[in-house]
Amino acid sequence: MLGVLILNTGTPDAPTPEAIRPYLKQFLSDRNLINVPRLIWKPVLNFCILPNRPKKTAAHYQQFWTEEGSPFLLTSLVQRDKLRARLTELMGEPVAVELGMRYGNPSTKSAIEALLDAGVSRIVVVPLYPQETKACAGTCLEEFERAFGEAMAERPKRTRPEVRTISHYWNAPGYLDALAQSVRDAWSYEPGKKLVVSFHSIPVSFQAAGDTYPESTKATAEGLASKLGIAPEDVVLTYQSRFDSRKWLGPFLEPELRRLAAEGAHDVAVVCPIFSVDCIETSYEVGTEAREEFVSAAREAGTEAPNFTYIPALGAADSVIGVLANLIMAKGA
């Protein structure tokens, strides 16, 4: 039986400081993100960051939380269910699909345990980041290896399933078509309008160590523009969501939006391909903060009615579920 494990970053259990604090602690304890000596970092984390940041962050989460729970988790569960149905249809037999989060719940280990209990003989692991970087897919796969080893050690008589991984899918057949259609559904391009393609930034040190993320982000932006027929001068590649004082990959989103506004841009759309599901980095940082930044700067520059469009993440769209299902079929058959 084929098992599929889809992985993503995660979400707090509730939009409260009490729930955000352990989630943030787990996130900021990841050495793939914060590679600072623990003797230095732990006091900073425990006595400077964790007592203060959860309260501020909770206010942002509360703007988007629903009665049913975290929008991020709810969409991720729909992804899981639709992928399970699609793969079962394609293969003509049941396929076990589980969701695991790098931080928070459901944990990666709990998802692995569910697959093992279902009796799978092979597992395809898919971090849901189209572009690969150590800080996203890399840390998810590292956590998978740790949790998988632990789960297997607890089942000494269990035959070890064969494991295969899909580390990225930005260049998979159909992906750019799905992304382009999501832009068309939300925004109409005309010469002079600007499409900003924004990705989560990474420390420049990652690139220096051989991380190929910058190349894949550039190729994604160029491929998307080509699919949409957008002139090169109307496409802007940016990065966002840096969170410490290290040197990060740029140019950064908000300064670029201010530049576009100062140059007279009146209509801007932002799409964030690295995020497969909308989260606080998109819904709040882009949909709220970046929107306010551009509209304010454009009005100061004399634009009477500036327009800002955030292009939602692909989420559980049938188009991207089909792309993932085909990749998994090829990898796991």
Q: What is the dihedral of CA 212, 254, 177, 4, to 10 degrees?
A: 60
Contact at 8 Å (CB) between 17 and 54? Answer: yes
Angstrom distances, CA of residue 121 to CA of 152, 155, 330: 13, 14, 16
Q: Tell whether 59 and 121 lie within a shared domain.
A: yes
Q: Tell whether 11 and 107 lie within a shared domain.
A: yes
Q: Nearest 5 degrees, angle CA 116-CA 118-CA 123?
A: 55
Is 200 part of any known ligand binding site? yes
DSSP 294: H
Q: What is the dihedral of CA 224, 230, 236, 237, to 10 degrees?
A: 10
Q: What is the pLDDT along the chain (333 residues), one digit of tens a residue?
A: 999 999 999 999 999 999 999 999 999 999 999 888 999 999 999 999 999 999 999 999 999 999 999 999 999 999 999 999 999 999 999 999 999 999 999 999 999 999 999 999 999 999 999 999 999 999 999 999 999 999 999 999 999 999 999 999 999 999 999 999 999 999 999 999 999 999 999 999 999 999 999 999 999 999 999 999 999 999 999 999 998 888 999 999 999 999 999 999 999 999 999 999 999 999 999 999 999 999 999 999 999 999 999 999 999 999 999 999 999 999 976
Q: Tell whether 233 and 321 lie within a shared domain.
A: no
Total number of domains in the chain: 2
Comparing CA positions, the residue from 61, 132, 134, 128 lying closest to residue 100 is 128
Q: Which long-range contacts (CB under 8 A, 24 or more apart) does 292-300 make?
A: 293/254, 293/257, 293/258, 294/257, 294/258, 294/260, 294/261, 294/268, 297/257, 297/258, 297/261, 297/262, 298/261, 298/265, 298/266, 300/261
Give the integer Cα–Cα distance in Å for 319 and 324.
9
Q: Tell whether 206 and 327 lie within a shared domain.
A: no
Q: Tell whether 83 and 199 lie within a shared domain.
A: no
Q: At what angle do helices 291-300 and 253-262 cross, to 10 degrees?
A: 20
Q: Tell whether 110 and 227 lie within a shared domain.
A: no
Q: Tell whether 212 and 140 lie within a shared domain.
A: no
What pTM, to 2 d.p., does this model score? 0.96
Q: Tell whether 74 and 163 lie within a shared domain.
A: yes
Q: Tell whether 113 and 224 lie within a shared domain.
A: no
Q: Which domain holds residue 139?
A: 2-169+317-332
- Predicted pLDDT of residue 83: 99
Q: Tell whether 119 and 43 lie within a shared domain.
A: yes
Q: Tell whether 221 and 94 lie within a shared domain.
A: no
CATH, residue 233? 3.40.50.1400
DSSP 154: T
Is 142 part of any known ligand binding site? no
Q: Tell whether 267 and 152 lie within a shared domain.
A: no
> Which 3 state secondary structure label does DSSP give 177?
helix
